[in-house]
Amino acid sequence: MELLLPPALRNLRQALEKLPGIGPRSALRIIQSLLKKPEHIHSLLSALEEVVQSVHTCPNCGFWTESEGFCDVCTDPHRDHTTLCIVKDAADVLAIERSQAFRGKYHVLGGVIDPLSGVGEKDLRLEQLWERLKKESYEELIFALGTSPEAETTTYYIARHLIDWHGRLSRFASGIPVGSELEYIDPLTLSRSLRERQPLTL
Amino acid sequence: MELLLPPALRNLRQALEKLPGIGPRSALRIIQSLLKKPEHIHSLLSALEEVVQSVHTCPNCGFWTESEGFCDVCTDPHRDHTTLCIVKDAADVLAIERSQAFRGKYHVLGGVIDPLSGVGEKDLRLEQLWERLKKESYEELIFALGTSPEAETTTYYIARHLIDWHGRLSRFASGIPVGSELEYIDPLTLSRSLRERQPLTL
């Protein structure tokens, strides 16, 4: 169809379409804006090159870092050494940090068990988790993997594996998001919010 | 806020946010997907480098090309040499080509006159247009700049400038899109569709 598009732009379009949330039309809009402002191509190029050169995942927790060894969270002496929060992706760490509600450590699994997408327990950073639980002195493990069936499976998989572990296991409450109207909440969330209702404190 | 995000990723996020349709959240999703699949970073990097090296705009029509001189449309001897379609952006050329309804030549203006955004007639490829109309032998000039007030202004600006030109001036019909329900069409489009109604041929 798009015979007129020069091959280099067709390649760029394909590379852009592999990114989440970008389809053929938005890829073309991005290409157009890049060609109109060449300084944007160059800033994107140098930013990508910098990332390739300097960013890697922390061998301990799996979060992003530019340091040689462990990341800023793992090496921060002021963080709570007794709670470990298990998340799916590095972006989840940023989301929880934004809430400023958690001051413990993190462990990024890198996914959840999802046989249909070919993700098994071997693909997750589980060995590193068992190691950390042996070496570090956590008292509580907080699961924040989300509420999808795959996340639940993964949460229970890890919990079963830790049946003999000395600490407490907990997970983020699931319920009605703050600011939402009850009538727009799905039945599953509603029934779970009711089942896990909290005592009202005055 | 995002103190934990390594500087290189913050730069990449800023570079991505400058692209159309990408906000802070989608930039972060893209960064996450790129870091999970390093081969995507590399294909994006090499595609961008290839574009920087080989793609430029045709000095004649303003469309994208990898050729040294004029682009494939300008040099194609099989295209209709008598009609010239004036579009705003290179992507509009692709859209019209997709319809397979036009076999003439194109002229990409690179924008429309929009004083509020600081785009004046000097910023458009107008000198090149006057040159082409002198050198090449067009019989009809078809405006396809869109229906925004700025596009209309630009269309009339060019038309007034060509008051002594020998050829015909026309523009793409504006009206109800194919497949749309009448009740969802805005009043301006409806009134224009009525004013510019077409004889029914059986």
Q: What's the confidence (pLDDT) of residue A68?
A: 86
**Complex ipTM:** 0.76
- What residues pair up with B119 in beta bridges, in sequence order? B114
User: Residue A146 above 90 pLDDT?
Assistant: no
pLDDT, tens digit (0-9, with 9 covering 90-100), for B6-58: 899 999 999 999 999 999 889 999 998 998 888 899 999 999 999 999 998 99
Report helix, strand or coil for B151. Answer: helix
In angstroms, the separation between the Cα of residue A201 and the nearest Cα of chain B is 31
| Contact: B90, A32; criterion CB under 8 Å | yes
Structure-model confidence comparison of residues B16 and A197, the more confident one: B16
* Closest Cβ–Cβ partner in B2, B14, B51 for A94: B2
Residues from chain B contacting residue A30 (CB–CB below 8 Å): 19-22
Q: Which residue has the tokens 């760490």?
A: A93
Name every residue whose Cβ is closer than 8 Å to that of residue B93 and which is 6 or more positions away in sequence: A4, B63, B73, B87, B106, B108
In angstroms, the separation between the Cα of residue A195 and the nearest Cα of chain B is 32
Q: Mutate one of A5, A11, A13, A19 to test the B interface: name it (highest B CB count within 10 A).
A: A19
Mean pLDDT over residues A98-114, rounded?
92
Ranges A184-188, B107-111, B116-120, B130-134: which has the least confidence: A184-188
pTM confidence score: 0.76
User: Residue A108 above 90 pLDDT?
Assistant: yes
Q: 3-class secondary structure for B5-34?
A: CCHHHHHHHHHHHCCCCCCHHHHHHHHHHH
Domains of chain B are 2-54 (1.10.8.420), 64-199 (3.40.1360.10)
Q: What's the confidence (pLDDT) of residue A141?
A: 93
Nearest chain B alpha carbon to A72: B4
User: Residue B73 above 60 pLDDT?
Assistant: yes
Mean pLDDT over residues A159-164, rounded?
92
pLDDT, tens digit (0-9, with 9 covering 90-100), for A56-94: 899 999 999 998 889 989 999 999 999 999 999 998 998
User: Residue A185 above 50 pLDDT?
Assistant: yes
